[in-house]
């Protein structure tokens, strides 16, 4: 059960104190308080953990400081959608809104290799009005002998160039808690010219200790990739680990699942799950067509499989696209075969816009038919 308190309630206020005193007397119920400082107001929620089935909602509603009460019957307590639940399905970061109704493209390098490539990539993005990118500094690789990423050494120039080209958010995978400190240090050292979205890769979706650590920091939003060999529900529980530790700025990333049935693609596309994640949870949903398709093959009409996959995700309502580009894919140190060329960026973005427009028309169509059905039934 969640008690949503009146906005801006002060922990020192008498109504808050009375409320906590009352709740603390409930038998076998533990309290977890979550405070979120927004730009305009602070919101406080109290989670009652334990068997709350015998506690009447009306009793809780009448307590001092309580505005609304949500009985959680489903899983995914913090990030899930529950009946009567009007909690937001968006968050703001770096002046951008990330929600279930917005769309951002994060085109960029799978892995940072040279400063020159970072600059070419960011300049191409700036020239097309883009303010987000992906830049891998810490790369989890199948072989220990493969390039592991430049790590903290590349962060200062990546952040400085982001500032120079107006990039506001960089998606960047972390695989160890020390990486968060390194990112923080480099941001501070360069005067925070940009923001970072921490990425948990598919190989770490169930690295629970990493999830807890990343969840405890509230500075950076998190993109959690679906695990490639586990169920959707298991991956959604992983996202809940982040939120239960305090960080609710979580985006859920679909990137295909591993099975021979996906051949000749690298992974089997799972973008039909975009509306499923949006229905079960309040998280914005990202699709990563690059790691799903894995190559630059195209269909007979000349459209790359990767662009078809992107369109499938966007037309189904995806809120973020994470996609590999590279100025010279044959010289990329990671995932060159799936990288799109900078010359292809305008076409890619125009194709995303077509799919987004189609999605918006489909939403309007659904609303129109719902009204017609209602009027016919009335
Ligand atoms: C990546 O986005 O660079 C990556 C390694 O993705 P995934 O974790 O989905 O394989
Ligand atoms: Mn990659």
Query: What is the atom index within ligand 1 of the atom nearest the CA of 253?
Result: 9
Q: Is the torsion defined by CA of 278, 281, 283, 288 positive or negative?
A: negative
Mutate to test the pocket of ligand 1, among 202, 206, 257, 313 (most ligand atoms within 8 A of CB): 202
Assess contact for 131 and 166: CB atoms under 8 A: yes
Find the 333 Cα to ligand 2 centroid distance in Å.
Answer: 10
Mean pLDDT of 86-98: 95
Assess contact for 124 and 345: CB atoms under 8 A: yes
Find the 203 Cα to ligand 1 centroid distance in Å.
Answer: 8
Q: For the ranges 71-85, 139-153, 194-208, 362-376, which has the lowest average pLDDT? A: 71-85
Find the 140 Cα to ligand 1 centroid distance in Å.
Answer: 8
Ligand located closest to 199 CA: 1
Number of neighbours of residue 373 by Cβ within 10 angstroms: 10
What's the pLDDT at 74?
66
Backbone phi, then psi, for 22, in 5-degree steps?
-65, -50
Pocket around ligand 1 at a 6 A CB cut-off? 110, 136, 173, 201-202, 225, 255, 288, 291
Find the 133 Cα to ligand 1 centroid distance in Å.
Answer: 14
Assess contact for 2 and 33: CB atoms under 8 A: no
Q: What is the pTM of this model?
A: 0.91
What's the pLDDT at 280?
96
Find the 291 Cα to ligand 1 centroid distance in Å.
Answer: 6
Ligand located closest to 294 CA: 2
| Separation of alpha carbons 13 and 34, rounded Å | 17
What's the pLDDT at 368?
96
Mean pLDDT of 54-60: 92
Number of neighbours of residue 145 by Cβ within 10 angstroms: 7
Residue 113 vs residue 87, higher pLDDT: 113
| Separation of alpha carbons 300 and 1, rounded Å | 54
Nearest partner of 165 among 188, 137, 193, judged by Cα = 193
Nearest partner of 152 among 123, 122, 172, judged by Cα = 172
Find the 1 Cα to ligand 1 centroid distance in Å.
Answer: 35
Q: Is the pLDDT of residue 148 over 80?
A: yes
Assess contact for 224 and 281: CB atoms under 8 A: no
β-strand 66-70 against 2-5: which pairing, if any?
A: antiparallel
Q: Is the pLDDT of residue 357 over 70?
A: yes
Report the phi/psi class of residue 94: left, alpha or beta, with left for phi > 0 and alpha for psi in -120 to 50. left
Mutate to test the pocket of ligand 1, among 172, 225, 229, 339 (most ligand atoms within 8 A of CB): 225
Q: Is the torsion defined by CA of 126, 131, 133, 135 positive or negative?
A: positive
Query: What is the atom index within ligand 1 of the atom nearest the CA of 203?
Result: 8
| CA separation, residue 142 to residues 91, 135, 147, 203, 205 (Å) | 34, 19, 10, 10, 16
How many helices (H) and strands (E) the chain has is answered by: 11, 14
Query: What is the atom index within ligand 1 of the atom nearest the CA of 335?
Result: 3
Mean pLDDT of 85-93: 91
| Protein residue with its CA nearest to atom 10 in ligand 1 | 202
Mean pLDDT of 244-256: 96
Q: For the ranges 81-95, 281-295, 335-349, which has the lowest average pLDDT? A: 81-95
pLDDT in tens, 166-225: 999 999 999 999 999 999 999 999 999 999 999 999 999 999 999 999 999 999 999 999
Q: What is the DSSP string of 51-63?
A: --TTS-HHHHHTS
| Separation of alpha carbons 131 and 105, rounded Å | 9
**Quick one: pLDDT band at residue 251, thresholds 50, 70, 90?**
very high
Q: Is the pLDDT of residue 285 over 70?
A: yes
Q: Is the pLDDT of residue 86 over 90?
A: no
Average pLDDT, the chain: 96
Mean pLDDT of 153-172: 98
Mean pLDDT of 305-321: 98
| Separation of alpha carbons 42 and 312, rounded Å | 38
Find the 101 Cα to ligand 2 centroid distance in Å.
Answer: 27
CA 251 to chain centre: 1
Assess contact for 251 and 286: CB atoms under 8 A: yes
Backbone phi, then psi, for 15, in 5-degree steps?
-65, -40
Peptide bond into 145 cis (omega under 30): no
Mutate to test the pocket of ligand 1, among 235, 255, 266, 293 (most ligand atoms within 8 A of CB): 255
| Separation of alpha carbons 185 and 140, rounded Å | 22
Find the 201 Cα to ligand 1 centroid distance in Å.
Answer: 5
* Residue 176: both structure tokens together: 């160890």
What's the pLDDT at 65?
95
Query: What is the atom index within ligand 1 of the atom nearest the CA of 111?
Result: 3
| Protein residue with its CA nearest to atom 6 in ligand 1 | 201
Find the 173 Cα to ligand 1 centroid distance in Å.
Answer: 8
Q: Is the pLDDT of residue 309 over 70?
A: yes
Q: Is the pLDDT of residue 103 over 70?
A: yes
Q: Is the pLDDT of residue 296 over 80?
A: yes
What's the pLDDT at 40?
83
Q: Is the torsion defined by CA of 77, 79, 80, 85 positive or negative?
A: positive
Query: What is the atom index within ligand 1 of the atom nearest the CA of 225?
Result: 9
| Separation of alpha carbons 230 and 333, rounded Å | 28
**Quick one: pLDDT band at residue 73, thresholds 50, 70, 90?**
low
């Amino acid at each position: 059960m969640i008690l949503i308190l009146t906005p801006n309630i002060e922990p020192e206020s008498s109504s808050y104190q009375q409320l906590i005193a009352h709740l603390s007397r409930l038998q076998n119920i533990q309290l977890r308080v979550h405070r979120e400082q927004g730009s305009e107001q602070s919101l406080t929620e109290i989670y009652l953990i334990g068997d709350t089935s015998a506690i009447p909602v009306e009793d809780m509603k009448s307590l001092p400081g309580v505005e609304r009460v949500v009985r959680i019957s489903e899983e995914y307590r913090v990030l899930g959608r529950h009946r009567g639940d009007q909690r937001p399905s968006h968050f703001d970061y770096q002046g951008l809104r990330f929600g279930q109704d917005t769309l951002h493209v994060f085109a960029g390098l799978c892995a940072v290799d040279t400063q020159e490539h970072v600059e070419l990539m960011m300049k191409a993005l700036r020239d097309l009005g883009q303010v987000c990118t992906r830049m891998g500094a810490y790369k989890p690789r199948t072989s220990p002998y493969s390039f592991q990423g430049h790590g903290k050494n590349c962060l200062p120039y990546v952040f400085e160039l982001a500032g120079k080209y107006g990039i506001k958010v960089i998606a960047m995978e972390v695989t160890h808690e020390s990486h968060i400190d390194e990112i923080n240090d480099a941001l501070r050292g360069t005067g925070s010219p940009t923001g970072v979205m921490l990425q948990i890769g598919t190989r770490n979706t169930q690295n629970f200790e990493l999830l807890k650590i990343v969840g405890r920091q509230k500075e950076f939003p998190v993109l959690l990739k679906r695990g490639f060999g586990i169920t959707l529900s298991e991956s959604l529980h992983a996202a809940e680990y982040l939120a239960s530790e305090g960080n609710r700025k979580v985006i859920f990333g679909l990137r295909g699942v591993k099975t021979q049935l996906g051949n000749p693609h690298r992974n089997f596309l799972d973008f039909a799950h975009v509306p499923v994640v949006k229905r079960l949870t309040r998280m914005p949903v990202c699709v990563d067509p690059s790691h799903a398709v894995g190559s630059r093959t195209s269909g007979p009409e000349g459209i790359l499989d990767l662009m078809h996959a992107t369109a499938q995700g966007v037309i189904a309502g995806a809120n973020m696209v994470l996609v590999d580009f590279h100025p010279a894919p044959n010289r990329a140190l990671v995932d060159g075969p799936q990288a799109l060329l900078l010359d292809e960026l305008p076409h890619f973005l125009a194709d995303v816009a077509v799919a987004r427009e189609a999605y918006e028309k489909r939403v309007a169509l659904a609303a129109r038919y719902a009204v017609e059905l209602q009027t016919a039934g009335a």
